[in-house]
Every structure is written in structure tokens, then in C-alpha cells.
Amino acid sequence: MKALAEMLAGLGWRVTGSDLQPAGATAEAIRRLAVLSQPFMPASSANILDQLAVDAGARDFARALAPGVALTPGAPLPAPSAVFPRFIDSAL
């Protein structure tokens, strides 16, 4: 959770101890969604899982929703980057 707090602080978010639990739950939900969306968006899902520091061997469906399988608290996270390109409507 410390790595998640540091990443959010680097993005300008103020994170307190009471904020870490919801942030960790949100990160875990994103991990599960990224694993399940791999057949539809393989590159984007891989990018999300890379940014959450999910080991390549832990990205299969069997582990996506398995009890006791979750993100590793305190794992170092890479620098965040955009997963999807920014959409700019040229008509505006």
C-alpha cells in the first residue's frame, strides 16, 4: 500500500492512512478487471497489469477471482503512464 500511496502522491493526490484502504480496494478491482479484459484488449490490459506490478504468471483467469489472490502490499510500482490515448475531437 505504501507504493500505491507514493504513486498517488506523485500525481498530486493527498493520501492519508484512512485513504489507503479504499485505494487498495480500487487497485485490486482494477487488477481483476484488467485480467478479465485481456481477451478483448490484450495490450491495454497488459499495460494496466504492468503498472500494478502484477507478475506475468499471475495474469490468468483462474487467479483473477480466486480467494486469497491479490496485489502484494508494498510492492514497488513503476511510474504511471497513460493506458489509452487522449481523444481530441477535431470538430471542436
pLDDT for res 3:
65
Q: pTM of the entire structure?
A: 0.71
* Consecutive 10-residue averages of pLDDT for the chain (92 residues): 63 57 78 93 95 90 82 82 86 70
pLDDT for res 21:
61
Number of structural domains the chain divides into: 1
Q: Which of 26, 30, 40, 43 minimizes the C-alpha distance to 85?
A: 43
d(CA 2, CA 76): 8
Is residue 9 in some structural domain? Answer: no
Q: Which domain holds residue 56?
A: 42-70
Is residue 52 in some structural domain? Answer: yes
How deeply is 12 buried, as exposed, middle or buried, from its count of CB atoms within 10 A (0-12, 13-18, 19+)? exposed
